[in-house]
Structure 1
């Protein structure tokens, strides 16, 4: 009997442990008191959370990425012409982030960052460049081994006066890196050669999208047959068929169709873990998150559009169990938490929030 009780207790404790994840949050540090990166112990069932650690005096680590082995975190440091990219040693048990090194981003205002076992790749928004950094054996970053400069303009003279690379994104098979350029209304497709130094990325093709739309973020569907592109300037959400390494547009809708003459600021886009629903945030005059049902042919139909209960929704994430959506409201200094109905895709405000200075990027990791 004692053995049975002990095993039952162990099972309960193990299940509870699986509910708890580390939540890493990247912030801006120049508008209110923030120390940079924050790591929380977050329970994905009860929504209880507790601060585990934070960095100190790290400048604007707005976007971050975690190494596959979870031993390192890499972040941008968005600071105009002084922008850098930083490496941190990451202890998943304590949540502690120990600074390793930083290096010049080779372009102003880096706004997105990805990594694999070999390289870290950064999109520099104001600089209009893509920079590639090699990982050293201790997790530190080399100086940039390749920098690609985009050029061109778009019809929106206020936002598209030059190239603005807003995202870099690995194709699921890691053969390519896609780069969305808000300033030129193009998606660039680079062949990825991870050990090729100054030729790590070579341009394969570019795809033009609607003039003035401002491509920002994209995502592949779970079986990698469709690509969904969110355009910041007009709130367009475009569906592409992805076949034979080609993008073919098959649908264009708007994430906030009732905004009419208001200002768009479409920000982030993610699939639910089950692949049945797609979500997108819109800032500007909207401050909403929209939910779309995904059909077998790749087409989308909107099922819900609700307030994010804050201003300036940037990045958002879905809990590993698919039950909740967390939205970083940059301008109101909070992360709002929504309950997610898995059958309908609907979101409901739980009333729970994480209060934090200018949150931008949210990443769950195991402990």
Structure 2
């Protein structure tokens, strides 16, 4: 056996022993043209922190993406920012064949769908509509096909800001870690709507009394701490993150902390919020005058301490995502058409840019390791 053959065998044995994996970043874009690429998959180099385009698909204005638990299906809010339209769409992703294949679409039952989530079982897709405020629940079959909605709910209440809160605006739909509850921040009414999720009934969403937030806060995105004991909601209009103690569908507010620097006193445009997988840090994005990421350390009781800011090096960071290793954060800057990869310092929580990629009007990002 020659030296080259020995080297190949050693490499294969090493990859087998170490559990070789690949990490992909999935991006949507406001392409404003259904005949143009709108869904992209890039491979994330987990050593260098760089992105390399892998494959893409044509779809119209995907504002938000989510993945099935196994990552073999991609679900997207599509036809957003389109009058008299709005849909959710499904794709099969095959990392070995390097392909994305369209499966089907269903109406979102309202204009401007902006968020969707898959139940931990992989059997349900829920989406939220911003303009025609409401949520729609669709069954999913084993082939990734989105079935027609079995439940649709509309909301009409407003709150104290006449410019932004004349009526309800749903901005996210989040399952609890155990899948037994759904939390629906409503920017327009200053409420987090709550539902028990009963999979044994034909219409699984069972309403619980909504939780009122600070008037004028405009609750937008919502996330759980990895330990499941705490939850965090970012207020787009107030530029704050509210910390909640969580147990069995109940939320108890324990802290409200600013995401913005002291020099910013109005016109907040806070957007997204996520914890690191180890539960030590929380990040929150600010658009508008700031275009940055607020960095917080998480105390043992779930409360937050601000420890700095990092520019997203672009304009209008609508969403961001953290990979499962907790080593990288990717921010999407819609108005400057850039996806920026940052390396996370696991000791300090600080961010260091590793690469930047141009994606026209990039609207959202998800990361998955296979």
* Equivalent of 1:104 in 107, 118, 138: 107
**Contact 2:183/2:193 (8 A) holds in 1:** yes
2:289 is paired with a residue of what secondary structure?
Answer: coil
The alpha-carbon deviation at position 307 of structure 1 amounts to: 1.1
Shift of 1:11: 4.8
- TM-superposed CA distance for 1:32, in Å, is 12
Retained in 2: the 8 A contact 1:262–1:285? no
Per-residue CA distance 1:41-75 (angstroms, 9 max, x = gap): 2211122332121112x111121111123222111
Give the equivalent residue in structure 2 for 1:64: 65
Can you list the C-alpha shifts for 1:110-136, whole angstroms capped at 9, x where unaligned? 000011322110001111100011113
CA contact (8 A) 1:36 1:59 kept: yes
1:70–1:92 CA contact under 8 A, matched in 2? no
Once the 2 structures are TM-superposed, how far is the Cα of residue 33 of structure 1 from its aligned partner?
9.7
Q: Determine the structure 2 residue equivalent to 1:10.
A: 12
The alignment status of 1:161 with 2:166, answered yes or no, reads yes
**More deviation in 258-267 or 120-129?**
258-267
Q: Which runs of 5+ in 1 are unaligned?
A: none
Measured against aligned partners, the alpha-carbon deviations of 1:148-198 in whole angstroms (never above 9, x if no partner) come to 11121011111111111100000011110100000000001101023423x
CA distance change for structure 1 residues 87 and 327 in 2, over 3 Å: closer, same or farther? same
Q: What is the aligned-residue RMSD (CA, Å)?
A: 2.2
1:141 corresponds in structure 2 to 146
1:32–1:333 Cα change, 3 Å: farther
Matched, 1:29 2:34: no
The change in CA–CA distance for 1:186 and 1:338 in structure 2 (over 3 A counts) is: same
Return the offset for 1:93. Answer: 1.9
Map Cα deviations across residues 229-273 of structure 1 (whole Å, 9 max, x no partner). 100011111111113532111111100132433421111111111
Alignment partner of 1:334 is 2:323:
no
Report SS of the residue matched to 2:262. Answer: helix
Q: 2:298 aligns with which of 268, 282, 294?
A: 294
Residues in 2 aligned to 1:266 and 1:32: alpha-carbon distance in whole angstroms = 29
Structure 1 residue aligned with 2:285: 281
Which residue matches 1:207? 211
Shift of 1:14: 5.2
Cα distance in 1 for partners of 2:235, 2:304 equals 16
User: Contact 2:284–2:294 (CA<8 Å) still a contact in 1?
Assistant: yes
Going from structure 1 to structure 2, the CA distance change for 1:48 and 1:32 (only over 3 Å counts) comes to: farther
Give the structure 1 partner of residue 93 of structure 2: 90
Name the CA shift for 1:322/1:167 in 2 (closer, same or farther; >3 Å). same
Task: Name the structure 2 match of 1:267.
Answer: 271
Alpha-carbon distance, 1:291 to partner: 0.8
Residue in 1 aligned with 2:196? 191
For residues 17 and 29 of structure 2, what CA distance do their matches in structure 1 show? 31
* Larger displacement relative to structure 2 (184-193 or 85-94): 85-94
Distance 1:34 1:279, change over 3 A: farther
How many residues are paired up?
364
CA apart distance, 1:321: 2.5
Q: Under a length normalisation based on structure 2, what TM-score does the superposition of the two structures give? A: 0.92
Partner residue in 1 for 2:309: 305
1:17 and 1:244 mapped to 2: Cα distance?
Answer: 36
Q: Find the residue that maps to 1:280 and give its secondary structure.
A: strand
Could you tell which deviates more after superposition, 247-256 or 66-75?
Answer: 66-75
Q: CA deviation at 1:224?
A: 1.1
Is it true that 1:317 corresponds to 2:321 in the alignment? yes
Secondary structure of the corresponding residue to residue 166 of structure 1: coil
Instruction: Compute the TM-score of the two structures, normalised by the length of structure 1.
Output: 0.93
C-alpha separation between the residues in 1 aligned to 2:145 and 2:133? 24
* d(CA) in 2 for partners of 1:246, 1:319: 28
